[in-house]
Structure 1
């Protein structure tokens, strides 16, 4: 399928979610399939419009045609492939900000595109399994909802792996909900055991990490989060 046809399909799939995607000020995002030089531009305001080619983009999303086709077929997750621990890391999908004056709005737009637009079909259903997960923070996430003030994701931590091995500190509250597997969490100076059907709350600015004693699955939620 061509890029423009695939984006038309995604635009149609997103019609019931358009209120969550649209922006108060016009944002233009160029989509580029880097290996076949196909380009199209999404214009997002009070509706989503699509143009073939490049048309004064504020930002750019780059991927290969194989990655794009796999997203359309449900064989790849957009958020898992663009997500990274640091902005400088290279992933199968890259995001470039062109108009830095709109940086906050562009990040907000990226979050809504990741959550609603690039999840195909309707209603939107994400598959949560290890084969679709990405690589970030020492574990394997699939982002669920990213928006202003809220972030959430589904994580697999393979046996022996440590999520946030260096002991990450964040200026917002978080919670890990353990779905499967046992592990150990280091929260500040305290070490605790994690088991299924439990949740652990992370204080603001507290160093935290999770080590899997066996393969773990968990939900991560953070709130009062900055846009960047």
Structure 2
């Protein structure tokens, strides 16, 4: 397995200093090249779990392994993309994509060539000298994806990356992500609260409970892509997931 999480527990202190559980006893295994969506209501711990996978925080209990090694901190092999894009507004699009390679010590010529290849891959080759503030939300998210791909991560973690986009742009970005996933053969864990998004993207959907506990169910989406969400099989899966979230 690419990712193995066993017995994951996490709590945070409230304003009175009392520990409030967020995750309680989560188990998850993700195969190499699998696309898994974490689905659940607001406040159920989806982002907390993703942060633990990224190594931004450590669990209070349990263990997370990636490629057979325990996660003890961040790694360029596990890259996280958030809804806020986190691009540097003072850097050009090209310089933003170069950033991770620059931190790894790549020389200017090599990192520029790599960044340009990735901008072409996400359809933004003509925008390399622009700044993030000059781009639409969908374009900024493609820059963020190109920057993440630059360091060739083994695992891509996405925290509701398309949540702020309009429905048309969101649909296009979902298809773009699926294309890149197939081409790069990445393992992806994707957080969403949108059932249709999960059904459109995932190989499996891990449904989190509203209160700390184990996943309610891991739902396999054994439908060919591209998926038609009005197809009876997809509608049946939607009903099943809705019942799990009720």
| Structure showing the higher helix proportion among its residues | 2
Q: Same fold (TM over 0.5)?
A: no
TM-score where L is the length of structure 2: 0.30
TM-score where L is the length of structure 1: 0.32
